[in-house]
Amino acid sequence: MDPILERFLRESWKNAKALADESDILELVPFGDPPRAVVAQFRANCYVKASRGVALHEGFSCGFRFPENYLSFALPWEVMQFIAPPNIVHPNIRPIAICLGTGLQPGTELRELLFRTYELVTFQRRSQPADPLNPEAAAWVRRNWPVPPADNRPLKRRPSEGSAQ
């Protein structure tokens, strides 16, 4: 492995692991040393298609993979994949594809990808994309605008939360 990429992956994993350690919502499963792939499991609500419309669902998962050329070139569908639930309702998600909105920049750290994914999936970061991946979900968003956050908890625990008393 390229030593610059290896150093980047180690630092990126260290920062993402620190975020997970400071979160009641996020669990990370690494693959490799340093991790070239990571599955992020979020214990947070998202919207899903249900038998009678749209409902809240607890939990969603995304995968992140960092190819050899990640520091110079990044294709979103090579880096990020939405894993579960398959019936997610979001204009920027059509399993397995997920679009974080603005273009993915090469070398974006995993920690930043985790924050952006969480805010997007939970509708904390609201938008009405002009070119949605999921037109059916985009129509639902337009009919229900503004969509309330599916989960409004912060990804990172606030300093006073969870501390021993």
Grade residue 37 by pLDDT with cuts at 50, 70 and 90: very high
**Structural domains in the chain plus CATH codes:** 3-143 (3.10.110.10)
Each residue's pLDDT tens digit, 76-133: 888 999 999 999 999 999 989 998 866 778 999 999 999 999 999 999 987 777 789 9
| pLDDT score, position 151 | 97
* DSSP designation for 128: -
Grade residue 165 by pLDDT with cuts at 50, 70 and 90: very low
Burial 33-46 (b: 16+ CB within 10 A, else e): ebbbebbbbbebbb
60 has pLDDT over 80: yes
H or E segment to which residue 77 belongs: helix 76-79
Residues found in the chain: 165
Q: Determine the Cα–Cα distance for residues 156 and 17; give it in Å rounded to an integer.
A: 12
